[in-house]
């Protein structure tokens, strides 16, 4: 490609007339996307705060899209495609974890100059984050009242509350694959948050101690552990970013802030997959 006076020529085959065809901006609806940042203060750093949270919501939208597909693939015994989806969601959360480093450049004094304009708006109210939590097993019916004023969000969470989780679908897949999943586990009330069930530990112990015979199940277990680790690292980075920015102040939505986020680290999606590690080889 010719370069003249430091300027690279446009190749002859490159499209340049989009009066009658779709271009990049049209396909991505960039006019809508790039006009969605609407600061309500004149502070230089408010766009950073808005964009960081908006991009988080875009990634959460994709994570939820993928997790719904993972659940459907497991229901169809298509474990290979389910594993691909789990890997993708893991990398989404790794990306979200790295993103906190950008928001962490916002110093406490800078944030306090515009924090007041946020009112009660808070990440606590992210319905997509709640949806991801629900489909992974951390269900909480009481959260629905936060979204009564947003019927679409409320209905989406209500649907996920009433639906099996990714873990429920995985356990049903294990049962269909010949593993002795207790019937009370398969018949559990899916509206309830998952709590550790020791009756599953012999099943997982057998899988982990004979990976050659149970490779698909074993590999999917490790994918689930990878995903949980990625989510927990994201939660921890969230906590540390909040702590370095506002210390132990109350959150804008009325939560206890850092203390609230600290308690979230105690929530787990697939507890048996961690507990079984003590059993392996014992």
User: Binding site for heme: which residues?
Assistant: 238
Q: What residue numbers does the annotated binding site cover?
A: 111, 115, 238, 252
Residues 166 and 74 sit within 8 Å (Cβ to Cβ): yes
Report the alpha-carbon distance of residue 93 to residue 226 in Å, rounded.
10
- Enumerate the known binding-site residues for substrate: 111, 115, 252
The CB density around residue 259, as the number of other CB atoms within 10 Å, is 12
Q: N- to C-terminal Cα distance for the chain?
A: 65
Written as one string, the DSSP assignment of 111-153 is HHTTGGGGTT--GGG-HHHHHHHHHHT---GGGGGGGTT-HHH
Ordered DSSP codes for 6-36: TEEPPPTTS----SSS--HHHHTTHHHHTT-
The phi, psi pair for 137, rounded to 5°, reads 125, -15
């Amino acid at each position: 490609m010719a370069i003249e006076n430091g300027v690279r020529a446009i190749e002859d085959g490159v499209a340049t007339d989009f009066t009658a065809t779709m271009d990049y901006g049209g396909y991505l609806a960039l006019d809508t996307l790039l006009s969605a940042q609407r600061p309500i203060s004149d502070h230089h750093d408010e766009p950073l705060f808005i964009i960081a949270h908006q991009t988080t919501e875009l990634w959460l939208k994709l994570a939820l899209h993928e997790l719904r597909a993972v659940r459907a693939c497991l229901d169809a015994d298509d474990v290979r495609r389910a594993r691909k989806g789990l890997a993708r969601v893991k990398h989404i959360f790794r990306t979200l974890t790295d993103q906190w480093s950008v928001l962490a450049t916002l110093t406490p004094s800078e944030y306090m100059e515009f924090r007041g304009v946020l009112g009660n708006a808070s990440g606590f109210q992210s319905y997509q984050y709640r949806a991801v939590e629900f489909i992974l097993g951390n269900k909480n019916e009481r959260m629905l009242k936060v979204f009564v004023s947003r019927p679409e969000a409320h209905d989406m969470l209500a649907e996920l509350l009433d639906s099996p989780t990714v873990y429920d679908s995985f356990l049903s897949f294990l049962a269909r694959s010949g593993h002795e999943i207790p019937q009370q586990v398969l018949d559990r009330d899916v509206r309830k948050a998952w709590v550790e069930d020791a009756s599953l530990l012999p099943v997982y112990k057998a899988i982990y101690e004979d990976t050659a015979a149970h490779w698909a199940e074993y590999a999917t277990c490790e994918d689930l552990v990878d995903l949980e680790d990625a989510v927990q690292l994201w939660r921890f980075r969230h906590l540390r970013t909040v702590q370095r920015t506002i210390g132990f102040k109350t959150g804008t939505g009325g939560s206890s802030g850092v203390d609230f986020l600290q308690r979230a680290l105690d929530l787990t999606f697939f507890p048996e997959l961690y507990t079984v590690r003590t059993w392996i080889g014992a």
